Structure 1
Amino acid sequence: MDTMRDRFISTASRLLDEEPRLAVVLADISADGFAPAARAHPDRVINVGIREQLLVGAGAGMALAGMRPVVHTFASFLVERPFEQVKLDFGHQGVGGVLVSAGGSYDWPAGGFTHMAPGDVALLDTLDGWTVHVPGHPDEAETLLRDAVAGEGRVYVRLSLQANREARPVSATGGFMPVREGRLGTVVAVGPMLDGVLAATEGLDLTVLYTTTVRPFDAAGVRRAAGVTNAADVVIVEPYLAGTSAAAAGEALVDLPHRVLGLGVGRAELRRYGTMGEHLRAHGLDPAGLRERITGFLRL
């Protein structure tokens, strides 16, 4: 299976042939993959080098000129480093574009903390009007990317090396998809966390919802799931900062007695970088760690 980043490069390259408004703006990352597209469309595949503030500003400038920019680099350099440009050049100026990140929270541990971005979605959550997609499979990434390019809004597509074994039906309109139904609580699995959540909840009387779109948050979907359980207890398992969507779930259930547990990447910096699998275990996001915390919270 190809990776989400591989699929992004191949899909965006094809879209450049099909969509004359589309432009791809790079900061060295994935430049080799886009080399054939750059030769075919030298005026619409722009590599600004390792200048991330310029990367975002150039993309927003293209949007002001009527183009549909796809702006790409690692998450830490796409959201965190040039956050002021994301906030002002896209948000304040009221233009649309597609930010596509790679690297996830810790896809390349050897790169160190500079290349880790567990706080990217929480940071974007401070801004208005962003749609946030977190695909769990390359097929889902392609569908969400195509929808994002065809639209006009501000969209963040978060890619990762973490992936589920199989793709699920997804759409740009989002919504939480029931994968299992149970009576003792609800677990929401975001993107690449689904396989681990399914393994962790095997044999438990729980509803499992799957989503690749976390913003806007599907409040109605959480309420529907709470309505078929005996308690409005919700666990949200996200592949980035723990608790990022806990407030949104709480707001969805504000008029119901409820409890919400947000599971994800912890705040503490893990300085022995290790492997991606070791990071999952260290943050309790492997099936064993998830099962222990889910059953403890739901008193199963």
Structure 2
Amino acid sequence: MRAAFVETLAELAEQDPRVVLLTGDLGFNMLEPFAERFPDRFFNIGVAEQNMVGVATGLAEAGMIPFVYSIATFASMRPYEFIRNGPVLHQLPVRIVGVGGGFEYGNNGATHYGLEDVGILRLQRGLTVVVPADAAHARGAFKQTYALPRPIYYRLSKGGAPVPGLTTDFELGRLTRLRTGSDIALIALGSTATDALAAAAQLGAAGVEATVAVVESFNPSPVDDLADLLSDVSFAVSVESHFVDGGLGTLVAEVIAERGLSTRLRRCGLDDLPRGTTGSVAFLKEQFGLSATAIARTVTSLVASARP
């Protein structure tokens, strides 16, 4: 997905001289295709994320479309007040690119886990949050949204394996159904759709048919699409590499409550910050209930608990 970002950004920069890229002293062996092609529009601000957002705000005020690039936890939290008081307050087209949400920097430890970025940035009502499910949708998201007049946060996976059933067309504020089943709905955030689909296949083999849907944007959020989906099922499970509070699980709970739906919800995500736990993405997903097998176990438990 990172490669798709750089390639697409270079294409956009070729067409639009307003596009510039800033990095917080990372992205080596990744950002060079843009930096070498547009050296006058590439800036390494250093390990100074607050200053980077401040510079981007000034560039946007001057008529540019700046993209600022860092690891998700650093892009979202270190400059949070600067994001709020700069591009959000003044509705300027600053694009914040946070790479490796969830556990994707697993071996670096808890300081690098992006587990609250969507939640805290979704609170900024003037900021659109985009979480592409795969590289093809990331390309579509950049092309569709890069010129919007408001600020945007893009949460990108380091990888980005294609998601089966997902077309190449990204649509802001909409939900995409990847698989249809009558027993339960698995609602995934971005690239966790792959785990949800694999869990649905396991459940299908056990006689439980699951609808799988993916949410890729907030502000606007797919509220009507979620309400339509949830009205058709008795059970729903949200799946996100994020805390259960603030992000997708909270959005789904809000829709159920505000629309008066009877759907029973279980949220798959983290309820506390991992302390002293590191390892591969696969290891951490299994540890915290986000692997396909762990999701399938959660669904089985939820269905069983509802039986007389």
Compute the TM-score of the two structures, normalised by the length of structure 1. 0.90
- In structure 1, runs of 5+ residues without a counterpart are none
Q: Displacement of 1:145 after TM fit? A: 1.6
The answer to whether 1:194 aligns with 2:170 is no
Alignment partner, residue 250 of structure 1: 253
- Cα distance in 1, alignment partners of residues 159 and 39 from structure 2: 32
The answer to whether 1:176 aligns with 2:175 is yes
Residue pairs, 1:62-77, within 5 angstroms:
62-77=59-74
- Cα distance in 2, alignment partners of residues 120 and 256 from structure 1: 28
Q: Cα distance 1:68–1:172, how it changes in 2: closer, same or farther (>3 A)?
A: farther
Residue pairs, 1:1-300, within 5 angstroms:
4-161=1-158, 163-166=160-163, 168-169=166-167, 170-202=169-201, 203=204, 204-229=208-233, 231=234, 233-243=235-245, 244-253=247-256, 254=258, 255-299=260-304
- Cα distance in 2, alignment partners of residues 151 and 90 from structure 1: 13
- Cα distance in 2, alignment partners of residues 147 and 71 from structure 1: 18
State the superposition RMSD in angstroms: 2.0
- In structure 2, runs of 5+ residues without a counterpart are none
Q: Cα distance 1:44–1:145, how it changes in 2: closer, same or farther (>3 A)?
A: same
Q: Displacement of 1:32 after TM fit? A: 4.5
Give the paired residue count: 295
Report Cα offsets for 1:236-293 as digits up to 9, x if no partner: 1112222422332233232222322221234231423111111111111111110111
Q: Cα distance 1:116–1:250, how it changes in 2: closer, same or farther (>3 A)?
A: closer
- Cα distance in 2, alignment partners of residues 189 and 79 from structure 1: 21
Report Cα offsets for 1:82-109 as digits up to 9, x if no partner: 1111111111222122111112222122
Q: Which amino acid aligns with 1:216?
A: P
- Cα distance in 1, alignment partners of residues 187 and 157 from structure 2: 19
Q: Cα distance 1:271–1:66, how it changes in 2: closer, same or farther (>3 A)?
A: same
Q: Cα distance 1:107–1:57, how it changes in 2: closer, same or farther (>3 A)?
A: same
Q: Displacement of 1:114 after TM fit? A: 2.1
Q: Displacement of 1:70 after TM fit? A: 0.9
Report Cα offsets for 1:25-59 as digits up to 9, x if no partner: 11111155333533443332111111111111111
- Cα distance in 1, alignment partners of residues 254 and 163 from structure 2: 31
Task: Please tell me whether the aligned partners of residues 91 and 150 of structure 2 are also in contact (alpha carbons under 8 angstroms).
Answer: no
Q: Per the alignment, in what secondary structure is the counterpart of residue 274 of structure 2?
A: coil
Q: Cα distance 1:189–1:236, how it changes in 2: closer, same or farther (>3 A)?
A: same
Q: Per the alignment, in what secondary structure is the counterpart of residue 95 of structure 1?
A: coil
Q: Which amino acid aligns with 2:123?
A: T
Task: Please tell me whether the aligned partners of residues 6 and 33 of structure 2 are also in contact (alpha carbons under 8 angstroms).
Answer: no
Q: Per the alignment, in what secondary structure is the counterpart of residue 39 of structure 2?
A: coil
Q: Displacement of 1:18 after TM fit? A: 1.6
Report Cα offsets for 1:202-239 as digits up to 9, x if no partner: 2122222123224422111122123333x2x3211112
Report Cα offsets for 1:52-91 as digits up to 9, x if no partner: 1111111111111111111111111110111111111111
Q: Cα distance 1:35–1:251, how it changes in 2: closer, same or farther (>3 A)?
A: closer
Q: Cα distance 1:296–1:213, how it changes in 2: closer, same or farther (>3 A)?
A: same
Task: Please tell me whether the aligned partners of residues 173 and 222 of structure 2 are also in contact (alpha carbons under 8 angstroms).
Answer: yes
Q: Displacement of 1:16 after TM fit? A: 1.7
Task: Please tell me whether the aligned partners of residues 162 and 192 of structure 1 are also in contact (alpha carbons under 8 angstroms).
Answer: no
Q: Per the alignment, in what secondary structure is the counterpart of residue 128 of structure 1?
A: coil
Q: Which amino acid aligns with 1:252?
A: V
Compute the TM-score of the two structures, normalised by the length of structure 2. 0.88
